[in-house]
Amino acid sequence: MTKPVMTATALERHYDVSGGWLRASRTLKAVAGLDFALYPGKTLAVVGESGCGKSTLARMVTMIEEPTAGQLTLDGEELVPDNWASHREAVQIVFQDPYGSLNPRQRIGAILEEPLKINRKSMSKEERQKKARDMLALVGLRPEHYDRYPHMFSGGQRQRIAIARALMLDPKVLVLDEPVSALDLSIQSSVLNLLVDLQERLQLAYLFISHDLSVVRHVADEVIVMYLGRAVEKGSRDAVFSAPYHPYAKALLSATPKADPGGAKERIKLQGELPSPLSIPDGCPFAPRCWKVQDKCRAERPVLPDLPHAAACFFPENGGEPA
């Protein structure tokens, strides 16, 4: 197998939350003990519900925030705040909301050229413009769009612009934070196709963050299911979707509505809601909502085994290896 472009080992990010007057501040573990590797031309999807640490992960990978513990490497070199500046251009991000992530006062040309102006100071104006126009063509926009403002575009076109901007510095890793969840269905498919095309052409490594399992199933090569900051299951797309080991992954899959009326509905109903990330239970974080919980789950925390398809569970489903 090819060498990974980015690896993470035991990645953690904690936040201190002030407890208020006369109360000790507490620690919120947004991401705890996460391992993964990104390969060129491959997509790693991270799925989970709100508050599971997906976006915190994106902020660490894009070097916006420093991990509290653990190690992040890019091309074999460890990323520390001192060398962030020289590595940032290799990791770019596309945000969820294309209406909020483009400056309404800048023309598309200026938006695309800004990364070059800052990072490629030696580049001439003509070269910059040429590169921006080439990029417009690459993401399926027309050359005359160069002089327009963001408000003149639809949501799908704006997301194309956001993708073009992320590609201006020829990154190796693209973090896609819910890239299509703000788009309509008919537009969503064309943006997904664009992402597939770009990945094949530029051999990009994608970190695809989403809560929409039908989209993940379509784009992902590898999947990590997160729950309260921890990876509860990881594996290849086919393995996770056809035979999920972790009860949470199974429940998540069964809760996703399928566009097939009359199809067999076997929905696992989870009781209750996500516990507050400030008071994660001592044992398995999923124990309070799990239907097959036993005393062991409440007492000990299961660890994710180091296998190609693994779940952090003592009593996994579908014949998985127990933690």
Partner 1 sequence: MALLRIRNLSVEFATATGQFRAVDGVDQDVNESEILAIVGESGSGKSVSMLAVMGLLPWTATVTADEMTFDGQDLLKIDPAARRKIIGKDMAMIFQEPMSSLNPCFTVGWQIREALRKHLKMGRQERQTRAIELFEQVGIPDPEKRLSAFPHQMSGGMNQRVMIAMAIACKPKLLIADEPTTALDVTIQAQILDLLAKLRDENGMGLVLITHDMGVVAETAERVSVQYAGQKIEEQPVMPLFRTPHHPYTSALLDALPERATEKRLPTIPGVVPGQFDRPAGCLFSPRCKFATDKCRTDPPPPLGPDLGYARCFYPLNVDERVAS
Torsion on CA atoms 46, 52, 58, 63, rounded to nearest 10: -140
Interface with partner 1 (CB under 8 A): 49-50, 154-156, 184-190, 192-193, 196, 211, 213-215, 217-219, 251-252, 255-263, 265, 267, 269-270, 272-274
Which of 75/221 has CB closer to partner 1? 221
User: At closest approach, how far in Å is the CB of 57 from partner 1?
Assistant: 17
CA separation for the pair 293, 296 (Å, rounded): 8
**Min separation Cβ 240 and partner 1, Å:** 15
Least Å from the CB of residue 219 to partner 1: 8
| Cβ closest to partner 1, residue 187 vs residue 243 | 187
Shortest Å distance, C-beta 156 to partner 1: 7
Nearer to partner 1, 170 or 184 (CB): 184
- Of 268 and 303, the one with the shorter C-beta distance to partner 1 is 268
Q: Looking at beta carbons only, is 64 or 255 nearer to partner 1?
A: 255
Nearest distance from residue 273's CB to partner 1, in Å? 6
50 or 86: CB nearest partner 1 = 50
